């Protein structure tokens, strides 16, 4: 699996560094999180990603690797203090984004091709408009309108795509889910006891 | 303490799975079914303990309580942890089903070790020794779980080494906290319900 290959590790130095950093990690470490998630969205020709541990804590210095759908690694980087990492579109196709955070946490996100190709179509249209403009000077206004509309749409859609990413943010398990889990445990207990008691009565009380 | 799916290599996952199956079989064999409710309560405790986060300084930690389970359950910790972790994997995507074997092993095996090494002392009449043994069970179980998780990650790839080393450091606050909680729990139960401390094994 190519995605396991991290950057080459300097073990000797790493240990010394660890000894120095250990107190810091005790304070701010999300080591006890249950799950990690990464989300990605497109703005212009840039892909933005945000990474969270369950409960909403940001992933700092997590390794983000970007693959195409065939599994070829395109680029990699690390999340900043806010858990964000952004990059220019390396190629116009669907992307497979893998986050490897500390202590065995890992998450994946697939960015569908529709989103980047939308941008492509946009720029193609602009080019077409530009040629049209060159041919017929009367269309200058139309071209300007188009540019303004796109700008406005971009600005309007930004909060929406952010909200969408926000909505997918992981939260801790809800009370309902926890109580549901407890129900399962006692349900399993009840089932086992039921079958045990039936067996006992079938075999008679001597057993 | 949950390792996500897709992190560990197949041999590590398979070994963990096989050992967990063995442990679970031993646990089920030793279970005295008349005390099943008590086992279910401990399973529920374990299930909930790791979901409730307690703020410690700027960060937050959650309990695992495998040391407590170990003192009460011995080998039965295996099926108990397996059920609780399977539910967490299915309901909350914590860990995940392929990593279930390794995760169960990491949390249940230390419990079994605690039972054999510290169980008799914790149940004993000497108050100081009992306190010390239950504290050590609480803290030691987390320490062993950390080591287990670290070694699972180390076997997977060398680049995990520095990260694996950190796990033990990161869990130090939990070790202290659980040690205290287990010590208090055991003393409390010894006073209130001493029969709960008798192992739930078939006599």
Q: What is the pLDDT of residues B60-71, one digit of tens each?
A: 667 888 888 888
Of A7, A185, A65, nearest to B49 by C-alpha is A185
Q: In terms of pLDDT, which residue wins out, B193 or A139?
A: B193
Tell me which chain B residues have a C-beta less than 8 angstroms from the C-beta of A25. 166, 169-170
- The alpha-carbon gap from A105 to the nearest alpha carbon of chain B, in Å, equals 5
Which chain A residue is nearest to residue B156, measuring alpha carbons? Answer: A4
Contact A25 B39 (CB under 8 A): no
Kindly state the tokens that stand for B119.
């169980």
The number of residues making up chain B comes to 203
- The alpha-carbon gap from A73 to the nearest alpha carbon of chain B, in Å, equals 17
Low-confidence ranges of chain B (pLDDT < 50): 203
Residue bearing tokens 């070694």 = B151
Which 3-state string (H, E, C) describes B122-174? HHCCCHHHHHHHHHHHHHHHHHHHHHHHHHHHHHHCHHHHHHHHHHHHHCHHH
Q: What is the pLDDT of residue A207?
A: 47
Sheet-wide strand order for A84-88? A36-43, A46-53, A84-88
Tell me which chain A residues have a C-beta less than 8 angstroms from the C-beta of B7. 100, 104-106
Q: What is the pLDDT of residues A1-44, one digit of tens each?
A: 344 444 444 444 444 444 444 443 443 334 445 677 787 877 77
Residue bearing tokens 């941008």 = A119
Closest by Cβ to B169, choosing from A25, A104, A182: A25
Measured between alpha carbons, how far is A75 from B22 in angstroms, rounded to an integer?
43
Which chain B residue is nearest to residue A24, measuring alpha carbons? Answer: B170
Interface of A with B in 109-168 (CB under 8 A): none
Q: In the A/B pair of chains, how many CB contacts fall below 8 A?
A: 137
* Dihedral angle computed from the Cα positions of residues A191, A192, A195 and A197, in that order, rounded to the nearest 10 degrees: -110
Instruction: Return mean pLDDT, chain A.
Output: 69
Of B105, B106, B88, nearest to B97 by C-alpha is B88
Kindly state the tokens that stand for A152.
């406005």
Q: What is the pLDDT of residue A158?
A: 77
Measured between alpha carbons, how far is B136 from B147 in angstroms, rounded to an integer?
16
Rounded to an integer, the average pLDDT of A61-74 is: 80
Tell me which chain A residues have a C-beta less than 8 angstroms from the C-beta of B87. 181, 184-185
pTM: predicted TM-score of the whole model, two decimal places? 0.65
- The alpha-carbon gap from B125 to the nearest alpha carbon of chain A, in Å, equals 32
Which chain A residue is nearest to residue B62, measuring alpha carbons? Answer: A32
Q: What is the pLDDT of residue A24?
A: 39
Q: What is the pLDDT of residue A134?
A: 59
**Backbone φ and ψ of B9, nearest 5°:** -80, 160
A95 neighbors A67 (Cβ within 8 angstroms)? yes
Contact B61 A188 (CB under 8 A): no
Measured between alpha carbons, how far is A118 from A112 in angstroms, rounded to an integer?
11
Q: In terms of pLDDT, which residue wins out, A121 or A105?
A: A105
**Backbone φ and ψ of A52, nearest 5°:** -135, 150
Kindly state the tokens that stand for B70.
């170990």
Which chain B residue is nearest to residue A16, measuring alpha carbons? Answer: B162
Closest by Cβ to A28, choosing from B3, B59, B158: B59
Looking at the complex, does the CB of residue A191 fall below 8 Å from at least one CB of chain B? no
- The alpha-carbon gap from A61 to the nearest alpha carbon of chain B, in Å, equals 12
Q: What is the pLDDT of residue A80?
A: 82
Contact A189 B162 (CB under 8 A): no
ipTM of the complex, rounded to two decimals = 0.71
Q: Model confidence at A90, in pLDDT bands (50, 70, 90)?
A: confident
Tell me which chain B residues have a C-beta less than 8 angstroms from the C-beta of A180. 91
A47 neighbors A95 (Cβ within 8 angstroms)? yes
Contact B166 A189 (CB under 8 A): no
In chain A, the percentage of residues whose pLDDT exceeds 70 is 60
């Amino acid at each position: 699996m190519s995605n396991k290959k991290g950057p080459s590790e300097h073990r000797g130095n790493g240990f010394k560094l660890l000894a120095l950093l250990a107190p810091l990690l005790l304070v701010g470490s999300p080591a006890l999180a249950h799950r990690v998630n990464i989300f990605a969205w497109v703005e212009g020709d840039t892909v933005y990603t945000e990474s969270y541990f369950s409960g909403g804590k940001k992933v700092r210095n997590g390794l983000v690797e970007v693959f195409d759908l065939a599994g070829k690694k395109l680029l990699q980087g690390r999340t900043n203090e806010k858990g964000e990492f952004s990059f220019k579109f390396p190629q116009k196709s669907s992307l497979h984004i893998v986050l490897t955070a500390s202590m065995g946490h890992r998450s994946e996100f697939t960015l569908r091709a529709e989103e980047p190709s939308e941008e492509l179509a946009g720029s193609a249209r602009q080019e077409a408009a530009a040629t049209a403009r060159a041919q017929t000077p009367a269309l200058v206004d139309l071209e300007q309108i188009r540019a303004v509309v796109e700008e406005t749409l971009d600005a309007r859609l930004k909060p929406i795509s952010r909200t969408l990413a926000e909505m997918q943010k992981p939260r801790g398990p809800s009370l309902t889910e926890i109580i549901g889990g407890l129900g399962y445990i006692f349900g399993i207990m009840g089932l086992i006891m039921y079958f045990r008691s039936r067996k006992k009565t079938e075999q008679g009380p001597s057993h | 303490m949950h390792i996500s799916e897709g992190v560990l290599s197949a041999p590590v996952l398979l070994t963990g799975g096989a050992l967990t199956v063995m442990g679970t079989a031993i646990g089920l064999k030793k279970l005295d079914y008349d005390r099943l409710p008590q086992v279910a309560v401990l399973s529920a405790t374990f299930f909930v303990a790791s979901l409730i986060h307690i703020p410690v300084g700027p960060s937050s930690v959650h309990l695992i309580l495998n040391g407590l389970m170990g003192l009460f359950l011995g080998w039965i910790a295996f099926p108990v942890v397996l059920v609780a972790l399977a539910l967490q994997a299915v309901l909350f995507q914590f860990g995940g089903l392929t990593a279930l074997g390794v995760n169960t092993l990491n949390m249940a095996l230390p419990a079994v070790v605690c039972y054999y090494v510290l169980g008799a002392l914790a149940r004993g009449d000497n108050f100081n020794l009992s306190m010390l043994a239950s504290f050590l069970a609480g803290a030691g179980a987390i320490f062993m779980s950390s080591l287990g998780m670290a070694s699972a990650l180390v076997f997977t790839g060398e680049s995990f080494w520095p990260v694996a080393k950190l796990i033990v450091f990161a869990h130090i606050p939990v070790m202290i906290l659980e040690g205290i909680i287990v010590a208090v729990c055991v003393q409390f139960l010894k006073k209130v319900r001493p029969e709960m401390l008798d192992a739930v094994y078939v006599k």
